[in-house]
Structure 1
Amino acid sequence: MLDELDRRILEILAANARVSLKELAQEAGLSSPSAAERLRKLEERGVLDGFTISVNPARLGYPLQAIVRIRPMPGMLHIVERLIQETPEFIECDKVTGDDCFIAKMLVRDMAELDTILDRIAEKAQTNTSIVKSSPVKRRLPPLI
């Protein structure tokens, strides 16, 4: 389980993963060696499994985001999964229970690019696509209790 200091460290890192060790230690009320040890233990326990960056897709030329529900045709599950993995415009994908097997997030430059990608999948799966208008809740930490 996490103690209060672990939770504080995770909150600080979630707000700014680029924070220096010195700043992290100060904000958490620890010495730099103690903060470093806490980070190491969080990584060893698998609580922290990486540090990442956040980019603005529109600034990279991808103004459209789409959520695609994908239901492979019989016998096509593994082929569709591989196709999703090999298509870089799919930036996230979850294998789920229910009628659909995959729920994926895509970034595309325009509707024509979306159609081209979905056409490749259409031979092997049914898709249902929604265009993202906004994201009122960005990726965030779950409650740290």
Structure 2
Amino acid sequence: MQLDKYDRKILAALSENARIRFAELARRVNLSAPAVADRVEKLERAGVITGYHVAIDPAKIGMPILCVIELTVKHREYGMVLERVREMPEVVECISITGTSALLIRTALPAMPALQDLIGKLMQYGDTKTSIVVDTPVPPRLPAQLLED
């Protein structure tokens, strides 16, 4: 799908606040509310917009330990390991990557013993490398190219 400047403005506004009302969104992008609603629907149908999500502060819900764990998995065990990782409630995101590690796992945990337990579980599937998140200087955002006219 080819995006025009209005689509890009709509996506930028929705990425800042997915709960914005169509009337306010229309005002921001200089279109009518029905035109904005139609464009949003087309973006959804085309698979450009895949969902609307809430952002939370894990520390405020008792999960202050954020980690990124690289897990190296043997090729023949990959599917089984992926199923096990999907079942782990501590895992908030898992992506498949190239290089020596097969999976990059983001976690949110209440305390260090929980991290130690999780690493113990993961070590049965392969080698792990754990990094504690100390800050997120660049939070998730849209690619800059999308915002260019």
Runs of 4+ in structure 1 deviating by more than 3 angstroms, as ranges, are none
The aligned residue for residue 15 of structure 2 is: 14
How far did 1:74 drift? 6.2
Map residues 91-102 of structure 1 onto 2, 5 A cutoff. 91-102=92-103
Q: For residues 9 and 16 of structure 1, what CA distance do their matches in structure 2 show?
A: 10
The aligned residue for residue 68 of structure 1 is: 69
Please, what TM-score do these two structures have when normalized by structure 2?
0.93
Please, what TM-score do these two structures have when normalized by structure 1?
0.95
Q: Counterpart amino acid of 1:114?
A: L
The aligned residue for residue 90 of structure 1 is: 91
The aligned residue for residue 119 of structure 2 is: 118
Q: For residues 112 and 66 of structure 1, what CA distance do their matches in structure 2 show?
A: 13
SS in 2 for 1:76: helix
Q: Counterpart amino acid of 1:116?
A: D
Q: What is the percentage of aligned positions where both structures have the same residue? A: 34
Q: Counterpart amino acid of 2:101?
A: D
How far did 1:107 drift? 0.5
Q: Residue 126 and residue 19 in structure 1: after superposition, are their counterparts in 2 closer, same or farther (change >3 A)?
A: same
Residues 73 and 126, structure 1, Cα contact 8 Å, conserved in 2: no
- What are the Cα deviations for residues 63-88 of structure 1, in whole angstroms up to 9, with x where unaligned? 01000000124643222211111001
- Structure 1, gaps ≥5 residues long: none
Aligned residues: 145
- 1:26 aligned to 2:27? yes
Q: For residues 96 and 14 of structure 1, what CA distance do their matches in structure 2 show?
A: 25
The aligned residue for residue 106 of structure 2 is: 105
Q: For residues 76 and 40 of structure 1, what CA distance do their matches in structure 2 show?
A: 40
